[in-house]
Amino acid sequence: MWIFFKRLFNVGKAKAHAKLDKVEDPVALTEQSIKDLKQDLAESMKSLAEMKALAIRTKRDVQQAHRAADQYEQRAMQFIGKAEQGDITMDEADRYALKALGQKDQILRVSSANEQNLRAYENMIRKLEIDIQKIRTQINTWEGELKTLKVRSRLSETSRRLNERMSSLSKNSMSDMLDDMKMKVEEQEALAQSYEDIAINDSGSLKCQCQRDSTEEKPSFACGDTDPLSCNDYQVNDGCGLGNLCTIKRGRFPSCPGVAACGETITNSCGEVCSVGGACDDPIVACTDTTWEPSESSTCSGETFTQTSNCGTSRSQIGTKDCSVSPPPACTKICLPGEGLCSDCTCKRACV
């Protein structure tokens, strides 16, 4: 009985492992491992920084202890020198010197323990640096493998979908689809040819033209014609029954009625902005055109000339002067031989 349950347990275990193998994503597992390793690297870097700070403080304490020991040794030597000079007695010098040397020995004992700790700290720092370098190398290696794994995973997934698609399409079904498409294309080409034949008259000219309501305001135009009343190009049905459009070109290009002053915008009769004034706080733009020279009356009617304003602005203008020449009045006086006819119709001799 026990053997039966053991075998049943092994079967369930095997199936569970098989299910987990299907659920596990190697890319996701690798990314999680890299994330955990980077967290370990951050913690190691923090420990390394703390250890280096402790080593720096210990090294500073050792250096200070050596300086203090040297000072106590120099002080003991000073006491011996003072005794030799007679400033103090030899007993006092020995007592003071022994006391100073005792302070030196105590400082050196403490410094010796700090030096041992410093060597231990330096060994730990070297070990941490080696471990950190290994972690960094491992992260770089895994990240490179992860990039390759992602590319291979995408390629394998794309190949799998492509193979599934190709396996679902049999050779016969694809041939049927291509035949249907070819038939539809041939039908459309035949229909287009028939409409083209209908559109051509006996002389070979195209009958289909743009259809538009023929009124006095909006007459009908053919494809590519120009509408003199329109400010924009527009499209209309070409009237050939295929639903195609053709373009009627814009034929109206009104001139600008003037030059905009500061803060002013001028539009033409089509609603298009043709002149924009600058800022009124600009001393150059703030000038307002009030007078224009020369005047229209100084140029013959119908002739175009250029006017200049008091602000230096130029514009085109049409003259209004009547330049027609009046014929001389009919002269009815008959001059005698040797007399000439003058402009006032009076006969004078040698008149030119």
Per-residue pLDDT, averaged over 278-301, amounts to: 72
The pLDDT value recorded for residue 241 is 66
59 half-sphere exposure, CB direction, 13 A CA radius? 10
The pLDDT value recorded for residue 341 is 56
Pair 226, 148 in one domain: no
The 10s digit of each residue's pLDDT in 64-115 is 888 888 888 888 888 888 888 887 788 888 888 888 888 888 888 888 888 8
% of the chain beyond a pLDDT of 90: 0
The pLDDT value recorded for residue 94 is 82
The pLDDT value recorded for residue 276 is 76
Band of the pLDDT at 203, cuts 50, 70, 90?
Answer: very low
Asked whether residue 328 is domain-assigned, the answer is: no
Task: Domain of residue 228: give its range.
Answer: 218-253
Pair 231, 98 in one domain: no
Residue with more model confidence, 330 or 84: 84
Pair 307, 225 in one domain: no
As a whole number of angstroms, the distance between CA 76 and CA 102 comes to 10
pTM of structure: 0.36
Pair 226, 279 in one domain: no
Pair 128, 228 in one domain: no
Asked whether residue 262 is domain-assigned, the answer is: yes
Pair 237, 278 in one domain: no
Number of domains the chain is built from: 4
The pLDDT value recorded for residue 70 is 86
Pair 86, 58 in one domain: yes
Name the residue with tokens 């120099």. Answer: 74
* Domain at 51, CATH number: 1.10.287
Which of 6-15, 90-99, 202-211, 328-337 holds the top average pLDDT?
90-99
Pair 261, 311 in one domain: no
Q: Which amino acid is at 228?
A: P
Asked whether residue 132 is domain-assigned, the answer is: yes
Q: Which amino acid is at 262?
A: C
**3-state SS class at 142:** helix
- Which residues are within 8 A (CB) of 290 and not within 5 positions of it... i.e. 6 or more apart? 309, 310
Asked whether residue 98 is domain-assigned, the answer is: yes
Pairing of strands 304-309, 314-318: antiparallel
Asked whether residue 327 is domain-assigned, the answer is: no
Asked whether residue 173 is domain-assigned, the answer is: no
Pair 239, 293 in one domain: no
As a whole number of angstroms, the distance between CA 264 and CA 286 comes to 11
Q: What is the DSSP string of 207-272?
A: ---------SSS----TT-EETT-SS-EEEE-SSSS--EEEEEE---PPP-S---TT-EEE-TTS-
